[in-house]
Amino acid sequence: MLSLENFSHHYANSDFRLGPFNLDVQPGECLGVMGQNGAGKSTLFQILTGNLRLSEGSARFGDQPISISNYALKKRFGYLPQNLELPKWVSAKELFSYAANLYELQNSQDIIESSLDYWDIRHFADRPLTACSHGMKKRVSLGLATIHSPDILILDEPFSGLDLFHIKALQDNIQERKQQKLITILSTHIAPYTASLCSRLVGIRRGELLPVEPWGDKSALEKIEIVESFFFKNET
Amino acid sequence: MLRQSLLLVKIFVSSFIRKIRYDFISESVVLVCSSVLLFLFYYMFQDFIHVKMAALDASTRENFAKTFSYILLFVTAYAVTKWTRGESKLEFSTIGQTATRLGTDKVTVAWYRLIQSTLIQICCFVSQWVIINSFFYPFSIGQILGLQTLISAFLFLSLKWSSPQIKKHTAYRGSQKHKQHSPSQALVAWRWQQILFRQRSSRIALTAGGGSAALLVISLFLNKADSLIILLSMAMGFFVGSAIIFQIEEDMKHCWLEKTLGISHERYTSAYLKVGILASLTMSIFLCLTIFTLYFVLGKSFDLVTSLKVIPISSIGPLAVAPLMFQIDPEKSLVQMLLCFFVCLFLGTGIFAHWLFAAAIPILLYYGMKYQKDLFYK
């Protein structure tokens, strides 16, 4: 279980403060995180992936604290950032090989091949990433985030740049993760995807965690209405 | 049309000023640190340099001064060319491309680029020429204009056409096979591959290092002055160190990758230290073989003991990069190069004066690595 207690972060030269709030995410959940641009979603993800130091409170995964220096735990996380800064003059295959070595994966050759096939990267696997389109880079980044079958997968705007075929692949991947009792945290502005994939939704507004009406067994349309009403009610 | 071009130039200037204002504190820190290094070096070595320079004949002193001037001009021209060529990239982040995509005609954008690049060159080179004419060599106006045009044109052409960078449509064939490595090995192997085969700036720096090595061998062969040989070994080390610095700059753009993959600060900096050690060993072996071949096989009569000093001196550059990489700002390659330059000059001059100064290299490594602990995650 992912557990955040009195979770709070503030930047040194800014008035912005994320939190404090408490949040638990159970195994098998896909948690949707919604909020306006600049609300604090990416800051939350940066702290969860150990790229930023938490100012106050605690974040734990199971019995292990999430921190910058817990390198072994970081390898159990997968992260797709919103801004895709990837090395320019390497190919997808080389990047996967590099990641596989850094993750210390066993049978890494098979895992790399499988990842290239799943995300449909094979036909441009040898091309320098700088020559790839945004959608191609997005698929490469998704491959990097999932190559090690992480216990927690954090996806920040994963659908932008993907065509329908690859959106389906991503949706299937998230559904499979739910069945395997793995945690997924998804941030997207596309309400239908939030409605179809997320078990639960939380909202962030100016650093504050806001409650959202629980889904229950509502239909997809009702869920979309909940998402939209939350967003427009809290952002106006 | 010209009015529109000037408007674009105005946007460029105001965005540049805004950028400096936004990063004011970090830019000021960089400026202050660089100035402190400059003045510290000048203060500590002015007497030594003046004594050594006074011992040389006038024409050699003049050649030294001109060489320093050319190096400074080359570095400035490279930075300026890189900056102005950045505007020609097909990215929305450049003003020229944004204007083009918004429907501005090509002639207006071309005028904008011309005015913009001229403005950048005037701002950068005027200050360079003032420094050169004040401290190195008093070039005449005609010489200045001629050199300026020549260096900028040469650099632009060499960057455009003789770049070893792989074309975008080419697929990488050479190093495609997955090899199982430990994380430490993977970090080092990755960087080696980028520096040697992919990263254009690094390859240009390595080429310059190779050029310095060739000149060094020729100088030994022709039994040139010890000062020249030592200077060329410093240059060799500096250029190889710069190759690593360019790779660091590139890596910092996507360091989230290594951070997310659970790489610690120690592991990351150790990888760069190993790259530096490998580079130093390669250069040392090369120089050792060269010196012994020239001295014992070909019977050249240079001072063997002084010549062997080129081995530790050339090693300083690549070794100094890792302990210094996070001290100021790893994203600014020019600042890193300036720091590396002063360390090479400081320690190199010390070793030239006395062998015992070579003990400063492991001290630099130890304290440098120690006093940048965990800065990778800041």
Quick check: B221 pLDDT over 50? yes
Given a contact cutoff of 8 angstroms between Cβ atoms, the answer to whether A69 and B263 are in contact is no
Tokens linked to A125 = 């696997």
What is the CB-side half-sphere exposure of residue B310 using CA atoms within 13 A?
A: 32
Q: Please, where are the H alpha helices in chain B? A: 2-22, 24-55, 58-86, 95-101, 106-131, 141-161, 183-193, 200-221, 226-252, 256-260, 265-292, 304-308, 310-324, 333-353, 360-370
Looking at per-residue pLDDT, the higher value among B158 and A85 belongs to: A85
Q: How many whole angstroms separate alpha carbon A89 and alpha carbon B83?
A: 20
Instruction: Tell if the CB–CB gap between A79 and B260 is shorter than 8 Å.
Output: yes
Compute the nearest-CA separation of B37 from chain A (Å): 28
Given a contact cutoff of 8 angstroms between Cβ atoms, the answer to whether A81 and B166 are in contact is no
Looking at per-residue pLDDT, the higher value among B161 and B206 belongs to: B206
Quick check: B88 pLDDT over 60? no
Name the packing angle between helices B265-292 and B183-193 (round to 10°). Answer: 60
pLDDT (tens digit per residue) in A67-113: 888 888 888 999 998 887 899 889 999 999 999 999 999 888 999 99
- The number of residues in chain B equals 378
Banded pLDDT at A174 (limits 50, 70, 90): very high
Average pLDDT along chain A? 88
Given a contact cutoff of 8 angstroms between Cβ atoms, the answer to whether B132 and B69 are in contact is yes
Quick check: B38 pLDDT over 60? yes
Quick check: B176 pLDDT over 70? no
pLDDT (tens digit per residue) in B340-355: 988 898 899 889 988 8
Minimum Cα–Cα distance from A85: chain B residue: B254
Tokens linked to A100 = 């596989």
Question: Of chain B residues 305-344, which have a CB less than 8 A from chain A?
Answer: none
Among A32-36, A110-114, A115-119, B206-210, name the one with the lowest average pLDDT: A32-36
Tokens linked to A2 = 């992912």
Banded pLDDT at B87 (limits 50, 70, 90): low
Q: Is A64 on the interface with B (CB under 8 A)?
A: no
Q: How many whole angstroms separate alpha carbon A10 and alpha carbon B175?
A: 44
Q: What is the per-residue pLDDT for B164?
A: 46
Q: Tell me the three state secondary structure of residue B376.
A: helix
Q: Tell me the three state secondary structure of residue B95.
A: helix
| CB neighbourhood size of A222 (10 A) | 14
Instruction: Give whichever of A40-54, A72-86, A137-151, A206-220 has the largest mean pLDDT.
Output: A137-151
Q: What is the per-residue pLDDT for B174?
A: 54
Minimum Cα–Cα distance from A131: chain B residue: B168
What residues of A are in contact with residue B259 (Cβ under 8 Å)? 49-51, 74
Tokens linked to A113 = 């091949």
Compute the nearest-CA separation of B262 from chain A (Å): 5
Q: What is the per-residue pLDDT for A228?
A: 84
Banded pLDDT at B28 (limits 50, 70, 90): confident
Q: Tell me the three state secondary structure of residue A203.
A: strand
The reported pTM is 0.81
On the 0-12 / 13-18 / 19+ scale of CB atoms within 10 A, B218 is exposed
**Interstrand relation of A30-35 and A200-205 (parallel, antiparallel or unpaired):** parallel
What residues of B are in contact with residue A68 (Cβ under 8 Å)? 374, 377
Tokens linked to B293 = 């071949």
Q: What is the ipTM of this complex?
A: 0.86
pLDDT (tens digit per residue) in B288-332: 999 999 988 888 888 888 889 999 999 999 999 999 999 888 888
Average pLDDT along chain B? 82
Q: How many whole angstroms separate alpha carbon A48 and alpha carbon A68?
A: 9
